[in-house]
Homo-oligomer: A and B are copies of this chain.
Amino acid sequence: MPIIVDAMGGDNAPEAVVAGAVEAAREFGLSITLTGHEDALRPLLSRFDAPEGIRVVHTPEVVGMGETPMEALRHKPDSSLSVGLRLLKEGEGDAFVSAGNSGAVMAGALLTLGRIAGVQRPALAALFSSPHGPVLLIDAGANADCEPIQLLQFAQMGAIYMERVVEIASPRVGLLSNGEEPTKGNALTRKAHELLAASSLRFIGNVEGRHLAEDVVDVVVTDGFTGNIVLKVMEGVAAALLQLLREAVESQLHYRAAALVLQPALRGVRRLSDYAEYGGVPLLGVAGTVIMAHGRSDARAIKNAIRAAQRAADQGVVQAIQEGLRATPTGKE
């Protein structure tokens, strides 16, 4: 079954999305369904010399980046986003990828696909590259206010994703807090700590902000408010440092030599906040494989998001979450 891609979603759509889809089709031999306006997509497919296996489903409407999610969904039933999600629901594809309005993608996925039985709240699982390897931060922004049981479910869903898709056996799960001792934290995390400690997860206890860049944890569990702030702090710090380094290098005559020496380090810095590396953030907990790509996605990011979507679908992440939560008594609603 094809991967369904919202070709009109994102700051660089449809061009970057079509380019990324063409690359994914060519490089990985994937079959892809693009939802979007035919008049915009056909010429791009010709220009990029699209291989077999890319199909277009024409949709006359587009959800804007600034629209409120509910308005967009209600007033534009024939948008590339809504149609794409309906195709997934109807079994016309294995997974759905969009770089469009993230609020609308989340709300649309929840409305169209529904939640996996037992899941209280779907969550965004952001994979980032620490110097030691991939780390998954969940929830990265879907739920600003959470209950303890929801943090436990985020941990369960995140661990399943890391095991199946990123192939980290028995991932170490940590609870983001303001101190390592179990008594540290706020009311939410102290209660969540108890639930996590009593679960069958490989729970290593509380982790602090500094641990995100150390090799101690694979899945970092937090509420969506804190998770979103943490990701953006990392992004901001990395951007500021790259700027400082660039200025330092450019102010010197030995520009080329230094730039050469710096390459590996610069790459490490950039990877820390490189959304394109993994391409997208899975929305875990909805009854379908949905990958949200960054709004600023370029072709490479779209290509990687499509690959992540295919991988999540092949590895049965949705079914695994369903079974995983069924096995946990606290996972019931």
Residues in A lying within 8 Å of B, measured CB to CB = 130-131, 141, 144-145, 176-179, 184-187, 189, 208-214, 223-226, 228-241, 243-245, 247-249, 251-252, 254, 257-258, 260-265, 268-269, 272
A262 touching B243, Cβ below 8 Å = no
Cα–Cα, bound, A232→B207 (Å): 11
**A184 contacts across to B, CB distance below 8 A:** 144
Q: List chain B residues, Cβ under 8 A from A234.
A: 209, 233, 237
Inter-chain contact B268/A261, CB cutoff 8 Å? no
Beyond A208-B232, A210-B232, A254-B261, 9 additional pairs, beta carbon < 8 A = A145-B187, A177-B229, A189-B225, A208-B229, A209-B234, A212-B237, A233-B237, A237-B238, A244-B268
A140 to B, closest residue via Cβ = B178
The interface residues of chain B lying within 8 Å CB-to-CB of A245 are 262, 265
Q: Name the 10 nearest CB pairs between A and B, nearest first.
A: A209-B232, A210-B236, A209-B233, A213-B240, A178-B228, A248-B265, A244-B268, A144-B186, A258-B261, A213-B236
| A70 → chain B closest CB, angstroms | 13
- C-alpha gap A145/B188 in the complex (Å): 9
Which residues of B have CB within 8 Å of A263?
Answer: 248
Min Cβ gap A291→B in Å is 20
Integer count of this chain's copies in the complex: 2
Some 9 contacts from A to B, beta carbons below 8 A apart, are A178-B224, A186-B223, A209-B230, A210-B235, A225-B226, A226-B229, A238-B241, A247-B265, A248-B261
- Chain B residue with Cβ nearest A246: B265
Interfacial chain B residues near A223, Cβ < 8 Å? 186
CA distance A176 to B228 in the complex (A): 11
Check if A261 sits within 8 Å of B252, measured CB to CB: yes
Check B141–A178 contact: CB distance below 8 A.
yes
Q: Distance (Å) between the CB of A247 and the closest chain B CB?
A: 7
CB distance from A265 to the nearest CB of B (A): 4
Q: Are B213 and A237 in contact (CB under 8 A)?
A: yes
Chain B residues positioned under 8 Å from A248 (CB to CB): 261-265, 268
Bound-state Cα–Cα, A328 to B216, Å: 46
> Residues of B contacting A269 with CB < 8 Å?
241, 244
* Chain B residue contacts of A238, Cβ below 8 A: 237, 241
B-side contacts of A230, CB under 8 Å: 209, 229-230, 233
Contact of A239 among B185, B213, B260 (CB under 8 A): B213
Residues of B within 8 A of A244 (CB): 131, 264-265, 268-269
Bound together, the chains give a CA A233 to CA B210 distance in angstroms of 5
**CB pair B187 A209 closer than 8 Å:** no
Q: How far is the CA of A211 from the CA of B260 in the complex (A)?
A: 30
Max chain B CB contacts within 10 Å: which of A234, A249, A251, A261?
Answer: A261
Complex interface: chain B residues within 8 A of A130 (CB): 240
| B229 adjacent to A241 (CB under 8 Å) | no
Which of B229, B232, B257 has a CB less than 8 Å from the CB of A254?
B257
A247 to B228, CA, bound (A): 30
Chain B positions within 8 Å of A272 at CB level: 237, 240-241
